[in-house]
Amino acid sequence: MNSGATIFSQIMKYLSWHDFQRCVQRYHGNRKIKSFSCWDQYLCMAFAQLTYRESLRDIETCLRAMRPKLYHMGLRSRMSRNTLANANSVRDWRIYSDFAQILIRKARVLYAGENFGLELNNAVYALDSTVIDLCLTLFPWARFRKTKAAVKLHTLLDLRGNIPTTVIITPGNIHDVAILDELSLESSAIYIMDRGYLDYGRLYAIHKTPAFFVTRAKKNIKFRKIFSRPTKKSSGVRADQIGMLSGYYSRQHYPEKIRRIVYIDRTINKRLVFLTNNMNLSARIIANLYKSRWQVELFFKWIKQHLRIKAFYGTSENAVKTQIWIAISIYVLIAIIKKKLKLKLSLYSILQIMSVALFEKTPILTALTDANYLEGRNLNYEQISLFKRTLGQ
């Protein structure tokens, strides 16, 4: 019989307890607490994410059924659903936000040299948001429409490894473009956005950083061409123009030259018009950069399908943000483990194996590279970087 650590405790060893305690002390998380510390809360919520528990009662039942093994998981306090519900409601969500940011920084270092399909020296980020629907009766603080509640998850995704570098959680009625004011822009980086973020004043702020943007133009754009660059129609590029915005207000907000590219995407038979301030990259690379923006959509799809962020264990704003940030930290933790153990498995496969083996006392590398599991399975899914499932699968 293997008397070593459980797989759950081996997973948690990839976390820095000292870093976590600094986050707790910053917001006085353990103040006046005699039992069930913030670390115990995090372990319970991490267990819930890794095993996709449905409710607080579900978490309590599963953990109590494994009571003899809880000590080896790192849980020193008895867990009850009321205790966990209260902790999620009153302990500052910023503890888990700050801790997730520490993991994000570590993951970005590990994936700094990751190839995302384009050979560029610049940091490349995709910006988008997703809406998480809520019940207005239970979540009145998140009013979205007259009869609907929702929160928005605004995410800036580093395409080298698909690591979320910035995550901002807002009520659903906050417009996407306002998030551009909250970003810490990085010099020489490339920011890829859809038309929902088209605001010429904010794009000019990116230009002045100096950084680069790639976005789609709206149909009513007023653009005055200064000169055109040669194009190859076989590449799908129909026009590559340098010019100025000619609308009165748009010219006031963006007074410098801008590049307009017309591209025909043959896979969907659609005409796309891009705007960018990058004058050096080829038009085809600009089109491919915008196409890579789809990775942030895959990120949203992945976490909604495989982590618990669409149904919540508490109804307060603090409980919702706590659960989302812990889910993000678990996603990044799995990415770190994948890289450090040099695994070829997808994040989905790693999560599935972990979910049924958390209480096993087997070396984690053995569990994740078992020959019987790998034999006869095609692990080469068609997708970029960490994600191993395409949107249509």
CA gap 264, 140 in Å, rounded: 45
Phi/psi for 318 (5° steps) reads -65, -40
Residue 210: is the preceding peptide bond cis (ω within 30°)? yes
Considering just the CA atoms, what is the radius of gyration of the chain in Å?
23
> What was the pLDDT predicted at 5?
85
CA gap 349, 337 in Å, rounded: 13
Question: Where are the domains positioned within the chain?
Answer: 7-95+312-374
Cα angle 325, 329, 333; round to 5: 170
Question: For residue 154, which amino acid is it?
Answer: H
Sign of the CA dihedral with 326 first, then 332, 335, and 340 last: negative
> What was the pLDDT predicted at 373?
52
> What was the pLDDT predicted at 17?
93
**For residues 214 and 190, is the Cβ–Cβ distance under 8 A?**
yes
CA gap 251, 67 in Å, rounded: 66
Around 305, how many Cα atoms within 13 Å sit in the side-chain half-sphere? 15
Please identify which residue in the block is written with the tokens 């807002």: 170
Read off the pTM.
0.89
Helix (H, G, I), strand (E, B) or coil at 238: strand
Tokens of 115: 């190839």
Question: What does the pLDDT profile of the chain (393 residues) look like in tens digits?
Answer: 345 788 999 999 999 999 999 999 999 999 988 889 999 999 999 999 999 999 999 999 988 888 877 777 777 777 889 999 999 999 999 999 999 999 999 999 999 988 888 889 999 999 999 999 999 999 999 989 888 999 999 999 999 999 999 999 999 999 999 999 999 999 999 999 999 999 999 999 999 999 999 999 999 999 999 999 999 888 899 999 999 999 999 999 999 999 999 999 888 889 999 999 999 999 999 999 999 999 999 999 999 999 999 899 999 999 999 999 999 999 999 999 999 999 988 888 899 898 888 888 889 998 888 645 544 444 443 444 444 444 443
Around 173, how many Cα atoms within 13 Å sit in the side-chain half-sphere? 10
CA gap 386, 331 in Å, rounded: 11
Tokens of 376: 């006869």
Q: DSSP letters of 108-129?
A: HHHTTT---SS--SS-EEEEEE
Tokens of 354: 């972990």
